[in-house]
Structure 1
Amino acid sequence: MTIRSSIPTTLASLAVWVGLVSACSPERPPEAQQAPARSIPVDTLTHAAWSRRAVIYEVNVRQYTPEGTLRAIEPHLARLKSLGVDVIWLMPVQPIGRKNRKGVMGSYYSISDYTAINPELGTMADFDSLVAAAHREGLKVLLDWVPNHTAFDHPWITQHRDWYVTRADGTVINARDNEGHDTDWTDVAELNYGNPALRQAMIDAMRWWLEHGHVDGFRCDVAGGVPLDFWMQARAELRKVRPDLFMLAEAEDPRLHAAFDMTYGWELHHLLNDVARGKRSAPALDAYFARQDSVFGRDAYRLYFTSNHDENSWNGSEFERMGANAQPAFVLAATVRGSMPLLYTGQEVSLRKRLRFFEKDTVDWHGPSLAPFYHALFDLKHRHQALANGAEGGDQTTVHTAAGDRVYVFARARGSDVVVVALNFGDAPVSAAYRDLRAPGAFTDWFSRAPVALPAAGTIDIPAHGYRVLVR
């Protein structure tokens, strides 16, 4: 679902401890409010070992193939593995509600049955086959989970009216976003997490997919619209079934890392859009990373990207938003501290159109291939400890240049492993004079394989709308 970016502005104390406060808006009824606050340490989660250098790929099942089915995804798995993908995230596969439906096919996020398969996508046997095939390829599978709301014709609406947030006249309200704001999501009904029975039913449904669907974890939609203490409870119960459970929150609140391995990097995404278009200067990135370091724990994973299903459908492809700077933007997103990079359906073939959200709109797989570019970056991440996710990755330092406000250079270092990334968002090539490189010496250009000497102070050539990645 489309959300607003939200990072609390006074969270310096979260470097060690955070208070558990309600994720619900004060406008909600008292019964929908969260339990009393208690202190929670940051960085207490144990991430699955397989996640430490992982790359994630979002699969839009409906639009991926002409068939738009789960079975039709299977032939693509070997290609995704060879691209360097480690995790596939499947957009919601459950049946879509018909009441208040948007468009012909409806929103993936308007679910009418949590433990069934949308017949337009196939059967449970097809889902099982896809997950088993993914696991044989060494791929992990995350299922997109929609806990904040259901379709208006979900059976719970009539069976358990008190599981929903209602108006004074008893009617159920449509869903709100991560910050509790009203939305135009008129096809979905807001759930009431003040009800213990609803909480348990939601955990039971998630457990069902671990036990019967054999998924490896969940990407949780509008996660900030659900109380944090629910997520704490859910994680504890679900890890009894799958100890290496992985949880991704579609939200940006640092407090969510008490229950989630990874949160969205919406703020960086929007900043990269602005830097790419020249609306912000590249040095603005320094302020962003300094702020992140002050509010997120060192072992917090962040999902960084240049596209996803929301951005593509509602705001345009990365080429529409970033123009010729789409590739240097992705290089940054894939190499900065904390990042688990995301690739969205079709980006590897330069997908330039906005995929329709409520209708069938198949990806054209005949676009110019960017597979070598993405494969090289994912291979870089897999091979270099400095780029590992979370606390196992290296420190990040800015390399200061005199090349103007369209150039950004930084280094990542963990022990003897050093990666220097130089980006040029400008229209002309530059020979960037730099200083204070903390780990000078002999490097190799990752993309050309040419040897490069980098003294503590010197120059580095960067093409227009381009990048250099130097490794040692």
Structure 2
Amino acid sequence: MKKTLFLGIFLAAFMSCKDDKKADTSAGGDKDATLAAVSPAMMENSVIYEANIRQYSPEGTFNAFTKDIPELKKLGVKVIWLMPVYPVSIKNRKATGDLSVEDIKDPEERKKYLGSYYAISDYTAINPDMGTKEDFQNLINTAHKNGIYVILDWVANHTGWDHKWITEHPEYYHKNAKGEVTDPLNPETGKSWGWTDVAHLDYRNKELHKVMKDEMLYWVKEHKIDGFRCDVADNVPTEFWQMAIPELEKQKPLFMLMESNKPYLFGDKLFDMGYGWEAHHLMNDIAKGKKTVKDWDALVEKIGKEYKAQDIFMNFTSNHDENAWNGTEYERLGNPDAAEAFAALTYVMPGMPLIYTGQEYDLNRRLKFFEKDQIDKNKGRMYAVYEKLGKLKNENAALNGGKNPASYKRLATSADKEVLAFEREKNGKKVVYIANLSDKPVTFTIDAAGEYEDYMKASKVKVDKTRELSFRPWQYMILIN
């Protein structure tokens, strides 16, 4: 017997927004006159863009990226996450495979290895390859004038081997039995994770807490950035975040994104948004035929039990790590139709959708991580898709996905293993997502009725409980009232 499941992701359907650290947007510090302070309201309908400055343009500079900020605005982007913009250490710099630049003897060959963005030699300086601090500030100002917030990638777990703390404050680092500073080691085995181009910071030293917070504070005070994406946030003691984030927010409200999905790091005075890793991995498994839509329903139920209503997840089909190490969305999801169906899902499910550099231009290769490898900016299939999805996300309250999200109601179908159908609703607005998330055609009925607009095709659609729908593999529809 068909039944309608009411599943409140993050208890969204039944809980109102709790008092939040950012509710008073008038508090703290100087404000950019062209942009309202970070608030729960701006998190509800934002799209976030991960900017890989090195690979975004042939120049790989702030200025080349800044020119395209109006293009990002067309995509509905309201938050730009800048991958690390700081100088990259030369010592132990990664080259190719297991080699470092020291292993490359040809000086011309060595020049092409630019190293990992995450091996930082100075937290308060700018990578000269990208431009100057003036160029960086122009990027911030331009984004703000276009209604876009900017957050910096922050790497609190480790530094590059050229960082002055290595010699001036070795007490800030983990050491081996010989007293030598180490790269990050697996605490269970004592063996290296393979991040040999970085030195592991030791937060048992309380002085490190203060100096790291001060390094973050520099960018908030001097450059008016709007928050941070914090690398491997759960590898840094929670005690640090509990101290640092409230101190930073004395200057201005900030948007805090963590590379983690740990429930204890969400909440008052900590992080606003975490990575939707479970949903991401499940999308990959459904595309490969390893899991079904039934597993999606189970995940929705699990999230509703383990997280609070105001916990926000970043939804994605790619990011810099996935692209570089696990493959493009086309590799992992199988084909462009599947990639589009899942991209649409990241917009209509609760949370905030991510576009990684190049996805809007149908990037279909793994970008080299340690070398120059710019994207080709040719508008093809996905630019128009992201543009339409971004407009819907920005303007339709039924897709609110922040601290006071729209409801989520599963719509039963006669093919619930293959077809995902759900309805989201808020303030009289309604959006329905229906997708055949399988590699075979499916004919089915859906436990819903009404007249809608097929948003992506701008055509009228009538749905009732007796009418059969036939979907191609990976076909989806977004219906609006």
Identify whether the pair has TM-score above 0.5, normalized to the shorter chain: yes
| Residue aligned with 2:50, SS | strand
Tell me the CA shift for residue 181 of structure 1.
8.2
The answer (yes or no) to whether the contact 2:393–2:399 under 8 Å persists in 1 is yes
1:236 aligns with 2:246: yes
How do 1:314-325 and structure 2 match up within 5 A? 314-324=325-335, 325=338
Give the superposition deviation at 1:238.
0.6
Structure 1 pair 260–354 and aligned structure 2 pair: CA distance change class (3 A): same
Match of 1:351 in 2: 363
The reply to whether residue 434 of structure 1 matches residue 446 of structure 2 is: yes
Task: Check the 8 A contact 2:43/2:403 in 1, yes or no.
Answer: no
Give the counterpart of 2:71 among 58, 64, 79: 79
Q: 1: CA distance between counterparts of 2:198 and 2:431?
A: 46
Amino acid at match of 1:262: M
What is residue 283 of structure 2 aligned with on the other side?
272
Match of 1:331 in 2: 344
The reply to whether residue 216 of structure 1 matches residue 240 of structure 2 is no
CA contact (8 A) 1:43 1:298 kept: no
C-alpha contact (below 8 Å) 2:435/2:475 kept by paired residues: yes
Give runs of ≥4 in structure 1 deviating > 6 Å: 177-181
Higher relative contact order (CA closer than 8 Å, sequence separation 6+): 2
Alpha-carbon offset, residue 458 of structure 1: 4.2
The reply to whether residue 68 of structure 1 matches residue 66 of structure 2 is no
Aligned to 1:462: 471
The whole-number CA distance in structure 1 between the counterparts of 2:438 and 2:359 is 23
Inter-partner Cα distance in structure 2 for 1:181 and 1:410: 46
Which amino acid is the alignment partner of residue 116 of structure 1? A
- Work out whether residues 152 and 188 of structure 1, in 8 Å CA contact, stay in contact via their aligned partners in 2: yes
- Amino acid aligned to 1:432: F
Distance in 2 (CA, whole Å) between partners of 1:178 and 1:239 is 33
Taking a change above 3 Å as real, the CA distance of residues 410 and 182 of structure 1, as seen in their structure-2 partners, is farther
Identity %: 43
The 3 A distance-change label for structure 1 pair 213 and 56 is: same
Asked whether the 8 Å contact 1:422–1:462 carries over to 2, the reply is no
Decide whether aligned partners of structure 1 residues 400 and 371 sit closer, same or farther in structure 2, where only a CA change above 3 A counts. Answer: same
Within-5 A mapping of 1:305-316: 305-316=316-327
Which of 152, 163, 167 matches 1:143? 152
Q: Distance in 1 between matches of 2:154 and 2:348?
A: 28
**Please, which runs of 5 or more residues in structure 1 have no aligned partner?**
1-13, 16-41
1:247 correspondence with 2:275: no
Amino acid at match of 1:287: A
Deviation digits for residues 340-377 of structure 1, max 9, x if unmatched? 00000011111001000001101112363411111111
Correspondence list, 1:10-89, <5 A? 45-46=21-22, 47-89=39-81
Distance 1:79 1:432 in 2: 39
TM-score of the aligned structures, taking structure 2 as reference length: 0.85
Q: CA deviation at 1:82?
A: 1.1
User: After alignment, is 324-333 or 409-418 more displaced?
Assistant: 409-418
C-alpha separation in 2, matches of 1:367 and 1:140: 24
Q: 1:222 to 1:55 in 2, by over 3 A?
A: same
RMSD: 2.0
Find 1:293's aligned residue among 271, 290, 304.
304
**Shift in Å, 1:321:** 0.7
Gaps of 5+ in 2: 1-9, 12-17, 23-38, 96-112
| Partner residue in 1 for 2:104 | none
User: Structure 1 pair 139/262, CA: closer, same or farther in 2 (3 Å)?
Assistant: same
Rate the CA distance shift 1:43–1:171 in 2: closer, same or farther, 3 A: farther
Q: Matched residues in 2 for 1:388 and 1:367: separation?
A: 28
Aligned equivalents of 2:331, 2:394: Cα separation in 1: 30
Contact 1:56–1:87 (CA<8 Å) still a contact in 2?
Answer: yes
The counterpart of 1:118, out of the listed 100, 124, 127, is: 127
TM-score (normalised: structure 1): 0.87
What residue identity is the alignment partner of 2:79? V
Distance 2:360 2:94 in 1: 29
> Does residue 411 of the first structure (1) align with residue 423 of the second (2)?
yes
Give the paired residue count. Answer: 428
